[in-house]
């Protein structure tokens, strides 16, 4: 169909992740417009998408563990319009040298590691003493920064090899900025997040996302590539027609990588199934030692103990997580953000700002790592400050 014959909606959103879904929901609710969401994948929800595993009854987070937490009341009130949340509290454990420890580093970790019974004050003095070899210095690499923050013994046990696996690089060759801080708690609190609200969507992530766009004025086209000119909602046709676009794909891809590629890390998963009801006894187990090739393992059943009656008591599924540098064909997870990357993104951001009817958002569109609540917050703000003014023109 020729571009001039196509009946375009009021707004096209590229990407059905949380940023795009939030903007779509707001546009329809506030202005009653018609919205088309396109996504190259075969599902909505972006990297937060989940599905049910029929054998075990576990909700699988297809792109790795997604845990909702926030201290932002605007975001919390907003998401509760579409889903309720369980009372899940995230706690992480780490296997080191054949022993399991609680993380983040807390008084329990310290006393177990040193086979001691330190008081909070004694533990703090110990850590300060062990970090003292680099006191007064300004470490430029991650290895020395880690030692300065938590002392050599704890750093080498829980951070050094884990980080080397994450980055496929020796920490002495990584910038110190990657770990500006390492939390150490001088009490026995091993709750991973410190936010006011925390939980998992009661009926799963996909049910939450479907509720957000449950409106006849929102239409979703999956398996649809924004850059494929054989389909009507493509970049060239939409720009020519002057249709407002919210773009949440990779910002360098939008500009056909003209200035170069922004660098990302990606994650591979290896699925392992066990003929037992529970393999790790927790949802996430980190592996801190170099002789285990993966960084962590996720046992999905343990995110939802409230669903025990619907789960298979004799089977469980675990995903082992391997980190590596991403190519253009991989799912980008974490921006690498070297100084070179930051400079390159600044150039792309300048180009993006010059696109009169395109709003760039989300992790990929802004080259930033966001938790889910950050994505929603930035989407609500982008709608108010950028998208709504475009739609009112």
93, 298, 303 from 316: Cα distances, Å: 18, 11, 12
In this prediction, residue 3 has a pLDDT band, given cuts at 50, 70 and 90, of: very low
The per-residue pLDDT for 5 is 66
Query: Are residues 70 and 26 both part of a single domain?
Result: yes
369: annotated active-site residue: yes
- pLDDT tens digits for range 168-220: 889 898 888 888 778 899 999 999 999 999 999 999 999 999 999 999 999 99
> In the predicted model, is pLDDT for residue 2 greater than 80?
no
Domain interval for residue 111:
105-178
> Catalytic residue at 307?
no
Final residue before a domain boundary, out of 178, 193, 217: 178
In the structure, how many helices (H) and strands (E) does the chain have? 14, 16
For 208, the enclosing helix (H) or strand (E) is helix 205-212
pLDDT at 358: 98
Catalytic residue, from 53, 299, 321, 377: name it: 321
Residue length of the chain: 393
Q: What is the pLDDT of residues 130-178, one digit of tens each?
A: 988 887 788 889 999 999 889 999 999 999 999 999 888 898 988 888 8
Among the listed residues 195, 278, 289, 371, the single catalytic one is 371
Task: Give the contacts of 215 (CB within 8 A, at least 6 positions apart).
Answer: 25, 28
Specify whether 324 is catalytic: no
Choose the catalytic residue: 59, 101, 254, 265.
Answer: 265
Q: Catalytic pick from 87, 115, 138, 181?
A: 181
Decide: 92 and 297 in contact? Cβ < 8 Å.
Answer: no
List pLDDT tens digits, range 27-82.
999 999 999 999 999 999 999 999 999 999 999 999 999 999 999 999 999 999 99
- 330-375 pLDDT, tens digit per residue, is 999 989 888 899 999 999 999 999 999 999 999 999 999 999 999 9
pLDDT band per the 50, 70, 90 thresholds, residue 255: very high
331 noted as active-site residue: no
Domain-ending residue, one of 178, 194, 223: 178
CA distances, 378 to each of 54, 72, 216, 254, 374 (Å)? 35, 12, 25, 20, 6
Residue 49: inside a domain, yes or no? yes
> Which residue is it, tokens 């369980």?
86
Domain co-membership, 246 together with 385: yes
**pTM recorded for the entire structure:** 0.93
Of 317, 326, 283, the closest CA to residue 91 belongs to: 283
> Does 354 share its domain with 233?
yes
Say which of 188, 369, 384, 385 is annotated catalytic: 369
Q: Note whether 15 and 248 are within 8 A (CB).
A: yes
């Amino acid at each position: 169909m020729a571009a001039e014959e196509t009946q375009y909606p009021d707004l096209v959103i590229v990407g059905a992740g949380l940023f795009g879904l939030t903007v779509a929901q707001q546009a329809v609710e506030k202005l009653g417009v018609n919205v088309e969401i396109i996504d190259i994948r075969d599902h909505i929800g972006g990297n937060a998408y989940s599905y049910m595993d029929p054998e075990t009854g576990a909700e699988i987070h297809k792109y790795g563990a997604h845990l909702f937490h926030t201290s932002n009341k605007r975001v919390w009130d907003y998401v509760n319009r579409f889903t309720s949340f369980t009372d899940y509290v995230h706690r992480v454990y780490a296997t080191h040298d054949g022993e399991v420890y609680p993380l983040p580093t807390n008084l329990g970790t310290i006393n177990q590691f040193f086979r001691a019974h330190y008081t909070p004050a004694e533990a703090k003095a110990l850590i300060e003493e062990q970090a003292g070899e680099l006191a007064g210095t300004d470490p430029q690499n991650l290895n020395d920064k880690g030692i300065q923050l938590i002392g050599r013994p704890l750093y080498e046990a829980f951070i050094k090899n884990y980080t080397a696996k994450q980055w496929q690089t020796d920490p002495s060759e990584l910038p110190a900025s990657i770990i500006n801080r390492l939390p150490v708690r001088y009490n026995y609190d091993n709750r991973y997040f410190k936010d006011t609200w925390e939980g998992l969507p009661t009926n799963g992530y996909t049910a939450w996302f479907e509720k957000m766009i449950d409106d006849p004025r929102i239409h979703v086209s999956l398996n649809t590539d924004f850059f494929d000119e054989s389909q009507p909602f493509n970049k060239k046709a939409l720009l020519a027609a002057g249709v407002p676009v919210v773009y949440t794909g990779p910002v360098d891809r939008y500009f056909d990588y003209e200035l170069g590629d922004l660098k990302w890390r990606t994650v591979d998963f290896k699925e392992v199934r066990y003929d037992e009801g529970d393999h790790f006894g927790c949802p996430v187990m980190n592996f801190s030692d170099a002789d285990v090739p993966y960084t962590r393992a996720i046992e999905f059943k343990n995110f939802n103990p409230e669903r025990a009656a619907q789960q298979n008591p004799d089977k469980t599924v675990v995903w082992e997580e391997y980190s590596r540098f991403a190519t253009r064909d991989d799912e980008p997870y974490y921006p690498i953000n070297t100084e070179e990357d930051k400079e390159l993104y600044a150039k792309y951001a300048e180009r993006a700002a010059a696109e009169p009817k395109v709003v760039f958002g989300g992790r990929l569109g802004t080259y930033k790592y966001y938790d889910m609540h950050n994505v929603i917050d930035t989407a609500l703000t982008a709608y108010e400050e950028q998208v709504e003014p475009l739609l009112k023109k």
